[in-house]
Structure 1
Amino acid sequence: MTLEILTSDALTPLRHGFFTRRGGASSGVYAGLNCGTGSTDQREVVEINRARVADAMGVAADHLLGVHQVHSAEVVTATEPLTEKPRADALVTRTPGLALSVLTADCQPVLFADVETGVIGAAHAGWRGTLDGILTATVDAMVALGAIRENISAVIGPSISQRAYEVGPEFIDAFLAEDPDYARYFAGGDGDRMQFDLPGFGLNRLRAAGVGHAEWTRHCTYSDPERFYSYRRTTHAKEADYGRLIAAITL
């Protein structure tokens, strides 16, 4: 099966993509294109999957860069292939031939580009990282490399949608303590539970960071098991583990 790669006109003509789970070598609960080295999938199979992604991006396997994601606001500026994965949640570069990638399974994969200045970025933005400023930090790191803030396009890929993201009081309180206006990203649920709009919040943070264009592809990871891995869906199904989707961009 060939790879399925979702793209956005906002990032054209740069080679980029939000890869679905289709077209991979993994089996069982990981069936498809599991690119997560942190999963308990067979390491050699994950490497086959990652090699397919690198080939689709037109780079060597060791030029498909990633970080050890920790739900932080830390950004790595890459100028060459990484010998190890630093603890961070975003990468930026202006070096041709490097593909920046992030892994997700409900969190937001966000790809950035200022096509005119040749600066790109990729961020893993879960609720904690988004609240703590990972998207703003990524834009700032791109500007430090020469990007023009208002020329940056940012695209949020497949993420868990509001209708599938039920949260409790402590979660809600963390947002309202930061800014009472964040109440707009919560809709009524059962009892003391509410539904959180993660992509809506991500778009808010991107626009507040001053990017010229921000969009969400409007794909829900939880609701489409044939195409996407989902941590929350796996948890509800009481499965042992889950695959990780990959998103990547290169100059």
Structure 2
Amino acid sequence: MAQIIRSSLLADCRHGFSTHEGLDAADVLAGAALVRVRQVHSPDVVTITRPDDGGVEGDALVTDTPGLVLGIVTADCAPVLLVDVSARVIGAAHAGWRGAHGGVIENTVAAMESLGAQPGRIVAAIGPTIAGPSYEVDDSFRVRFAAGDERFFATGKPGHFQFDLPAYVAHRLRRSGVGAIDDLALDTYGDPSRFHSFRRSTHRGEDTAGRQISLIALAG
């Protein structure tokens, strides 16, 4: 049986983050339909009401419809699962640096609000993600970010920095008013026995196609 990684903060909601073994929709909610979008590192959010609403371009999904499993795939980018239990609204976001910088987190929270969620009641979990010590970037990357974002960049070798993507995503969640955040602090790059990592595979000259999947659903 595949390992399912869960967040205690989302304990009242059907959800799971996978290892490299993957997960099926039934691992989260038996008999439910899996819905995904074509991820393109955008800030775009798709509101799902039926199983066939998926397949379009976007990098986050939200719904208030029971019986649907929202799924996103990642291999270093941050998978973020969100729920307002009281409003029965869920969301799943693919937040790489480009999407997070472009507003995918804020847009996901806003789309959940449009379905009746309240930001202060939303709780979010950040799943397996490349960690700061594993994420070296250069100065041309650093200058894309605002002056106030320097705390997410640790000084590395000359002309380089270590970028803390999970902390940056958590910052964008807090800025959106999300009530509580659980960073599972699992480094995809640093744990090859459990996780795919696009960057690690690139560095090793290996196949880069592997992905984890993160799932969240509303039971009926």
* Structure 1 position 55 matched with structure 2 position 26: yes
Question: Partner residue of 1:164?
Answer: 134
Distance 1:83 1:120, change over 3 A: closer
* Structure 1 position 237 matched with structure 2 position 204: yes
Q: What is the SS of the residue equivalent to 1:174?
A: coil
Question: Partner residue of 1:4?
Answer: 3
| d(CA) in 1 for partners of 2:158, 2:26 | 49
Question: Partner residue of 2:190?
Answer: 223
Question: Partner residue of 1:30?
Answer: none
| d(CA) in 1 for partners of 2:163, 2:143 | 12
| d(CA) in 2 for partners of 1:202, 1:132 | 11
Residues 93 and 119 of structure 1 are in contact (CA less than 8 Å); yes or no, is this contact kept in structure 2? yes
Q: What is the SS of the residue equivalent to 1:248?
A: strand
Misfit runs of 4+, over 3 Å = none
| d(CA) in 2 for partners of 1:225, 1:82 | 34
Residues 230 and 242 of structure 1 are in contact (CA less than 8 Å); yes or no, is this contact kept in structure 2? no
Shift of 1:84: 5.0
Matches within 5 A, 1:1-251: 2-22=1-21, 33=22, 53-60=24-31, 63-82=33-52, 85-175=55-145, 179-251=146-218
Question: Partner residue of 1:28?
Answer: none
Residues 186 and 194 of structure 1 are in contact (CA less than 8 Å); yes or no, is this contact kept in structure 2? yes
Shift of 1:14: 1.1
Q: What is the SS of the residue equivalent to 1:227?
A: coil
Q: What is the SS of the residue equivalent to 1:82?
A: helix
Residues 73 and 213 of structure 2 are in contact (CA less than 8 Å); yes or no, is this contact kept in structure 1? yes
Shift of 1:54: 1.4
| d(CA) in 2 for partners of 1:241, 1:154 | 28
| d(CA) in 2 for partners of 1:149, 1:207 | 10
| d(CA) in 2 for partners of 1:154, 1:57 | 17
Task: Mark the runs of 5 or more structure 1 residues left unpaired by the alignment.
Answer: 23-32, 34-51
| d(CA) in 2 for partners of 1:220, 1:163 | 9
Aligned length: 218
Residues 99 and 249 of structure 1 are in contact (CA less than 8 Å); yes or no, is this contact kept in structure 2? yes
Residues 59 and 98 of structure 1 are in contact (CA less than 8 Å); yes or no, is this contact kept in structure 2? no
1:83-136 deviation per Cα after TM superposition (whole angstroms, max 9, x unaligned): 651110000000000000100000000000000110000000000000000000
1:222-244 deviation per Cα after TM superposition (whole angstroms, max 9, x unaligned): 01111100000000101133311
1:6-63 deviation per Cα after TM superposition (whole angstroms, max 9, x unaligned): 11111122110001123xxxxxxxxxx3xxxxxxxxxxxxxxxxxx5112122447x1
TM-score normalised per structure 2: 0.96
TM-score normalised per structure 1: 0.84
Distance 1:105 1:199, change over 3 A: same
Deviates more, 1:80-89 or 1:90-99: 80-89
Residue identity over aligned pairs, in percent, reads: 47
Task: Mark the runs of 5 or more structure 2 residues left unpaired by the alignment.
Answer: none
Q: Which amino acid aligns with 1:166?
A: E
Q: What is the SS of the residue equivalent to 2:143?
A: helix
Normalized per residue, which structure has more helix?
A: 1
Aligned-CA RMSD value:
1.2
